[in-house]
Amino acid sequence: MLNVEKLNAFYGKKQVLFGIDLTLGDGRIAAVIGPNGAGKSTVLRAVFGLGPDREGTIRLNEDDLSRAAPPQNIAAGVAFVPQGARVFRDLSVFENLRMGGYTLAPDVLRPRCDEAMDLFPILRERRAQKAGALSGGERQMLAFGMALMLRPRLLLIDEPSIGLAPMLVTQIFDTIVRIRDERGTAVLIVEQQAQQILRIADQVFVIRAGRLISQGAVDNYRGEDALRQVYLSEHKAKQREGDGP
């Protein structure tokens, strides 16, 4: 279980997150939604220790990760898939997967690569191809495969749909559900396509101007009226609260 309490975050002297409290159970998918510039991605980066400066408590089950840097978070079972399908473009698909599991013993590494390619069969077809020659969707799948090599307990995903065709978005979101169902992985995901993420999420956190303004079961956020409350009056909220992080 992920427990985040009173999370504040700062870029220099500018505070960008204000007292965020999140609880995410094992095997649950939580959507982080809200207007552009609200601070959603900053929440993921702060949890993973990838900047900004932070205050507060972050615990994953028995592990206190409040001051942990990314290497310590990875060792504790946290994986992060950032925006932009970041892979090693000059390496092959198979070499990228090996890089994702660089801490694994050789007898474990190969089966884990096979697991990743089973989740995304196109990676098996492209295994010898350089990652830079893949399509955007294929690179996103490879980024997911790399993040899953160490079988994380918590998967942080930032805007996986950016630049992808709708069919590929659906495929990736269905795979996220499969990962949750088969491995019990908890997933905290930032996504601007609200209808897609609400299709697979169990719970929702709404961020605006760096603050958690609403949370609850996903059923409370389905439908146009509920989403309008999240996204409507975005410009008014910015005028009232200041432009969010």
Q: Is the peptide bond before 82 cis (omega within 30 degrees of 0)?
A: no
Rounded CA gap, 108 and 241, in Å? 51
Task: Note whether residue 138 is domain-resident.
Answer: no
Q: Structural domain tally of the chain?
A: 1
Task: Note whether residue 147 is domain-resident.
Answer: no
Task: Note whether residue 163 is domain-resident.
Answer: no
Using a 10 angstrom Cβ sphere, with 0-12 exposed, 13-18 middle and 19 or more buried, the burial of residue 17 is buried
Task: Note whether residue 45 is domain-resident.
Answer: yes
Q: pTM value?
A: 0.90
196: number of Cβ within 10 Å: 18
Task: Note whether residue 16 is domain-resident.
Answer: yes
Residue owning tokens 């504040």: 8
Task: Note whether residue 151 is domain-resident.
Answer: no
Rounded CA gap, 108 and 220, in Å? 42
State residue 211's pLDDT score: 96
Asked if residue 69 has pLDDT above 60, the reply is yes
Between 194 and 12, residue with greater pLDDT: 12
State residue 244's pLDDT score: 44
State residue 36's pLDDT score: 87
Asked if residue 245 has pLDDT above 50, the reply is no
Task: Note whether residue 112 is domain-resident.
Answer: no
- Given pLDDT bands bounded at 50, 70 and 90, which one contains residue 236? very low
Instruction: Name the residue range of residue 231's domain.
Output: 1-77+187-245
Residue 31 belongs to domain with CATH number: 3.40.50.300
H helix or E strand, kind and range, residue 74: helix 70-76
- CA angle 57/78/195 to nearest 5° reads 95
Task: Note whether residue 83 is domain-resident.
Answer: no
Using a 10 angstrom Cβ sphere, with 0-12 exposed, 13-18 middle and 19 or more buried, the burial of residue 102 is exposed
